[in-house]
A = this chain, B = another copy of it.
């Protein structure tokens, strides 16, 4: 099944867990891994998902051993009886499982530091396949295992992404780098404010000049588009860098201010960096986005430096009490109106002492729409030093997609305003 030369080049991934064969769960560890392998110039040849059955798991490991040089296996390292990866690999290799007291001690300490007692099941996790190197897992109880022979490397990784990712970054990639590294040039353009086909038409003229080793992938979701550029640098790296930058810059020029990031940052990161750099502060008054705007902003570490407060004024009484929206205005124009969005932003800006205030009010659905004010109608407001703006938007999608697009539009209004101010000041 493949000559040695082919086998040597093949990298394969096995995800273990019956839940990953159900309709409810997608395996995502392989995406992270394949992204990281790109940095070494490697690609996966096979991905396999297998359940918790010991026999089927052993079968998958046996097949992988016959055809691949580097094998990653994620999952099945937990404390339960369903977790059989250690046993399966040991049996296929004909190796023993050896109890490792130091691992058990670490697990015990982990529990104790949280005021909890280790359970007997965790003992399973302290067994190590003979000959394996232990990969420490500071984010969970299951350590990884590294099995390297002259002909093959097998890496056992914990399934949860929060445990797998740091282990790949800190322990796996450094060990793999000695097998060769290829320079990959990469840019992730992030775009909001226009639809996929508009973007497509704008950049089409660039397509015919793409060199063969430059890959362009467009990923679109409501309110956000990504253009990923990846180029494997060839024999003349400097020339490649020039080509890559020329293409990237042509695309960025054609899209103008629709591009909010060329390095993959989220919109809340970009806006946060601008606020921090300018020493300006922000508050949010949300109705239909229901807290998502504050949630996105506060996902950024250190956001307390520029984010003062968010008021989720969901009911009309709350809009009146917290933001001083006049009851007559609510009665005459309705909560979902340009006027209410404007008052929400202006009054919060004044009350909070922030430099900027954003507001959202709209109909996230699925209920509550009328012919005059349909589901997806959202007003987004921005109050800034010296004035305010409100946009009327009609978003498509389900409730969560409408909430997301409302926050995306509000953040983008602020980004464009900050850019305008930067320009004026420079």
Contact = CB atoms under 8 A, between A and B. Distances in A.
A116 B115 CA distance: 69
Given A26-B31, A217-B18, A56 B48 contact: no
B44 A197 contact: no
Contact of A59 (B1, B24, B34, B322): B1
A121 B46 contact: no
Given A22-B34, A23-B38, A310-B291, A79 B197 contact: yes
A290 B67 CA distance: 49
B295 A292 contact: yes
A193 interface: no
A380 to B, nearest CB: 16
Contacts of A80: 196, 200, 218
Contact of A322 (B196, B311, B365, B401): B311
Interface stretch (A94-102, A236-244, A300-308, A336-344): A300-308
A222 B222 CA distance: 28
Interface in A4-34: 18-26, 28, 31-32, 34
Interface string A253-296: 00000000000000000000000000000001010001111111
A223 interface: no
A327 to B, nearest CB: 16
Contacts of A301: 365-367, 399
Interface stretch (A126-134, A169-177, A312-320, A417-425): A312-320
20 contacts: A19-B219, A22-B43, A25-B219, A26-B28, A45-B50, A46-B60, A47-B48, A63-B63, A79-B197, A81-B207, A119-B198, A160-B221, A162-B401, A290-B298, A290-B310, A291-B312, A292-B298, A299-B399, A301-B367, A311-B311
A388 interface: no
A230 B295 CA distance: 35
Number of copies: 2
Category for how many chain A residues contact B: 35 or more
A114 interface: yes
Contacts of A312: 284, 291, 294, 298, 309-312
Contacts of A309: 311-315, 318, 322
Interface centre among A1, A197, A293, A317 (most CB of B within 10 A): A197
A181 interface: no
A121 B197 contact: yes
A60 B2 CA distance: 12
A190 interface: no
A322 to B, nearest CB: 7
Contact of A294 (B44, B290, B353, B400): B290
A153 interface: no
